[in-house]
A = this chain, B = another copy of it.
Amino acid sequence: MGGRGGRGILAAPRPAGPITEPTSMKTRLSPVAPSPSLPAVHRRQWLAGSAGALAAAGIGGWHGEAAAEAAAAGKPLPDYVAWKDASSLIVHSSNTLETRRAAFGTSGITPAERLYVRNNLPPPAAAIVADRDAWELAVEGVKSPRRLTLAQLKGLGLESVATVLQCSGNGRGYFPSKPSGTPWTVGAAGCVVWSGVPVRAVAEALGGVADGLPFMTGTGGEPLPEAVDPKSAVVERSLPIKALDDALLAWEMNGAPIPLAHGGPLRLIVPGYQGVNNIKYIKRLAFTAAESDAKIMSHGYRITPAGGTPDPSQPSVLEMNVKSWINSPQAGPGPLSAGLVLIQGVAFSGGGSAVKRVEVSTDGGRTWRDARFFGPDLGRFAWRQFVLQARLPAGEHLLVSRATDTAGRVQPEQRLENLHGYNNNSWVDHGVKLVLA
């Protein structure tokens, strides 16, 4: 066949030229400092699989992910999530586990073993997932209210949707005001596929939503601590009834029954809304005339001015906002493409809008270039992965990303200050520093 065809295809591989150490081994990466003096964080690598190496690297001096990773080093996984991949997670507490920035992978879907956990109450006993189909949900505020078992729900319809699941406190670690609560950086988020029955199909099977009920209220099945007012502890959230359009009562996550830690046997999924609204172990779904008066609704998860006091008149944490961050700069092999760096991350929005553009800057936001989306488009509620190849000289580079959604909303430079550190989508906060030798 001519050309080099004379070489037998079973011949031993010919000796290759000398192999230069890839530039990736020399990368230095750290969060961009929101405050003056940020020590450089030295990391050998920044990709899935190398998470273990990060904890070992000399990290410190800042209250964000570096400090969190250092503090979490060696903390074991709680029993109920013993099946998770410890090297992918930062254990803040038994109810708060964060995915390492290096552990998101590049497949679009976050594996269950790497997905963050944030429980407002300790999860129920594992007995509730022993006979999943027997789980009961009370449906109220429909023409024919009744209890339905999970087995019955499974007969009413089937849909599957990929959504970003994100704690509204994700990014709290970047607030210089150090709000109380877990100092999440980027890892209180993931993108997963849920399967279940559309809430609309359930409501229709029960005669439809009764008239004049503008809220959809979900109640979690966590056992409540004794000796406290149940309303002060119950996980119960009310959403505007338009959330019904996309909501799912889900029994499956990423192709398997939802693990207890993630709300199995049955979870309310409200695509586009912050995590707390996706009620775990849902035991009651009610269309209601008013918002719940449970404390987690009336005073919790409110956008309270810094220095203020939470009250029900303040905006609640509902739909997510447009956001992106960078997960993995990675340098190319020296002799083939010296200075070439692949900058990769994720971008998403809320309110039913997909992300349509991501720009990346390697100089802290002075100049921008469009990144390329890659991988399957999992729909408007999922995140998109982006990548940009850049040729960078030795030295320090401040990498930031800025997303725009289909509604034209642009990720802002600055966070909106608030008492509890919710809804941080500042692009400058989420930047990373890359040091090339």
Contacts and interface: CB of A to CB of B under 8 A. Distances in A.
A379 interface: yes
B292 A151 contact: no
A308 interface: no
A155 B193 contact: no
Contacts of A281: none
Contact of A107 (B193, B213, B330): B193
A231 interface: yes
B257 A148 contact: no
B195 A158 contact: no
Contact of A154 (B133, B147, B289, B330): B330
Interface in A355-399: 374-379, 382, 385, 387, 389
A290 B408 CA distance: 53
A195 B376 contact: no
Given A4-B141, A141-B7, A154 B24 contact: yes
A51 to B, nearest CB: 11
A254 to B, nearest CB: 6
Nearest to A293: B10
A387 B342 CA distance: 40
A17 B156 CA distance: 18
Given A108-B255, A195-B105, A145 B16 contact: yes
A154 B332 CA distance: 7
A252 B105 contact: yes
A109 B14 CA distance: 39
A345 to B, nearest CB: 11
A17 B238 CA distance: 26
A66 to B, nearest CB: 23
A240 interface: no
Interface in A13-32: 13-14, 16-17, 19, 22-25
A179 interface: no
A257 B49 contact: yes
A231 B48 contact: no
Interface string A207-248: 000111111010000000000001100101010000000000
A161 interface: yes
Contacts of A132: 49
Interface in A171-190: none
A193 B109 CA distance: 8
B22 A151 contact: yes
Nearest to A18: B146
Interface stretch (A74-82, A333-341, A426-434): A333-341
A138 B337 contact: no
Contacts of A110: 255
A331 interface: yes
B212 A2 contact: yes
A360 to B, nearest CB: 14
Contact of A22 (B105, B145, B149): B149
Given A108-B193, A109-B109, A147-B13, A205 B337 contact: yes
7 contacts: A5-B212, A22-B152, A105-B195, A107-B160, A156-B337, A193-B375, A195-B375
4 nearest A-B pairs in the assembled complex, by CB-CB distance? A5-B289, A155-B332, A160-B375, A13-B138
Given A6-B289, A158-B387, 9 more contacts: A4-B211, A9-B215, A14-B140, A48-B257, A106-B158, A107-B160, A148-B333, A155-B340, A160-B374
